[in-house]
Structure 1
């Protein structure tokens, strides 16, 4: 009997702590937004990646280019895969608000959550054989591999320039689900105690 009361007390304390954390998050909502994206080429090559920016300061259109400190993007990474889903390469193009690529070009509409206009994402740090996207979002986009760092590349795949972009669930939402689940466990334990 004491064991059941101890479990209920632990669950109640955990639920209370999660409720406080959720309430604190609601009062001071996170300003950063994280988005995942993926791309599928006509020949079976694909890419997955993510990027983030501060919702409070970002304009409707985010445009970034070149190396150095970015205006709004906080991070951007992309991994390229061949048709058999073997990893070709992963690139952290933007990290900590700094672009590592001289060739980097990124245009994103925050209201429609679409990548558009000129895009150059991926390699660009000067290593021969790097993979990268180049083209126009919503029109024509190519997955290329650099041959010689002299502007010569091989086209591996292409598509209409379409990216699937999706918002990453917020931590407060996940905490809310955990708290709800804990309350369910507490209710089940109470029912078991009543039947004992």
Structure 2
């Protein structure tokens, strides 16, 4: 009886992986999503993600200001204090439209690295934002009010990490192979009993 369930699980996993592979081949992914994270010297941090259409994007993506973006489809960021308590989450770019007049973003699609002027996050009424120059210095700042200076909460040497979000088809394929491995192990175990 266990042998039948093992075979059914293996067939189902293989079928799922094959279906996903066929669907991906017929509908190639256009949007690519990447994660980024920043760690300040005093323990504050920023985590976020952004996406763009890889079929239309140039090698260098440079965006600035409010309104329609050239290539970015989305960019969101969350800021955390040293105890990982949230300071705020901001959708700086949503649906290909920047929500901030101060927005600055530069990304090299070939090396998958951020570079140059950088300014993301909120903009008014006690909002937080990450700004500076990637590779030089980045500051996590908080806007307090119109006639008051911004408060610098943390900074670092300009280091910010970018990583690609795994595609769902890749994850399902890995799960299918894992299921086949488990099925094979169970089959060997049954044969030795």
Query: TM-score normalised to the size of structure 1?
Result: 0.88
Q: Which residue of 1 aligns with 2:15?
A: 16
Query: Is 1:160 equivalent to 2:149 in the alignment?
Result: no
Deviation at 1:47, TM superposition (A): 0.9
- Superposed CA deviations along residues 77-119 of structure 1, whole A, max 9, x for unmatched, are 1111112221111111111212111211111111222222111
Q: Counterpart of 1:92? A: 91
Q: Which residue of 2 aligns with 1:45?
A: 44
- Alpha-carbon deviation of 1:175? 1.2
- 1:102 is aligned to 2:101: yes
> Does the Cα contact within 8 Å between 1:8 and 1:189 map onto a contact in 2?
no
Offset of 1:194 from its aligned partner? 4.8
Q: Is 1:33 matched with 2:43? A: no
Residue ranges of structure 2 left out of the alignment (5+ in a row):
none
The 1-side partners of 2:100 and 2:54 are apart by 24
How far 1:8 sits from its partner (Å)? 2.2
In the TM superposition, residue 151 of structure 1 has moved relative to its aligned partner by 7.3
Alignment partners' CA distance in 1, 2:68 and 2:56? 15
What runs of 5+ residues in structure 1 fail to find an aligned partner?
none
**CA–CA distance in 2 between the matches of 1:13 and 1:44?**
46
Check if 1:60 corresponds to 2:59.
Answer: yes
Evaluate the alpha carbon distance shift between residue 64 and residue 181 of structure 1 in structure 2; reply closer, same or farther with a 3 A threshold. same
- Residue of structure 1 equivalent to 2:74: 75
Q: Is the 8 A contact 1:12 1:186 kept in 2?
A: no
* Corresponding pairs, count: 193
Cα offset, 1:55, TM superposition: 1.1
Give the drift of 1:48: 0.8
SS at match of 1:35: strand
Tell me how far 1:42 sits from its aligned partner.
Answer: 1.7
Q: Once the two structures are superposed, what CA deviation does each residue of 1:4-23 show, in whole Å capped at 9, x if it has no partner?
A: 42552354134213212123
Q: Deviations over 1:15-63 (max 9, x none)?
A: 2132121233145431221111111112221111111111111111111
Question: Tell me, what secondary structure is at the counterpart of 2:41?
Answer: coil
How far, CA to CA, are the matches of 2:35 and 2:16 in structure 1?
Answer: 30
Q: Residue 131 of structure 2 aligns to a residue in which SS? A: strand
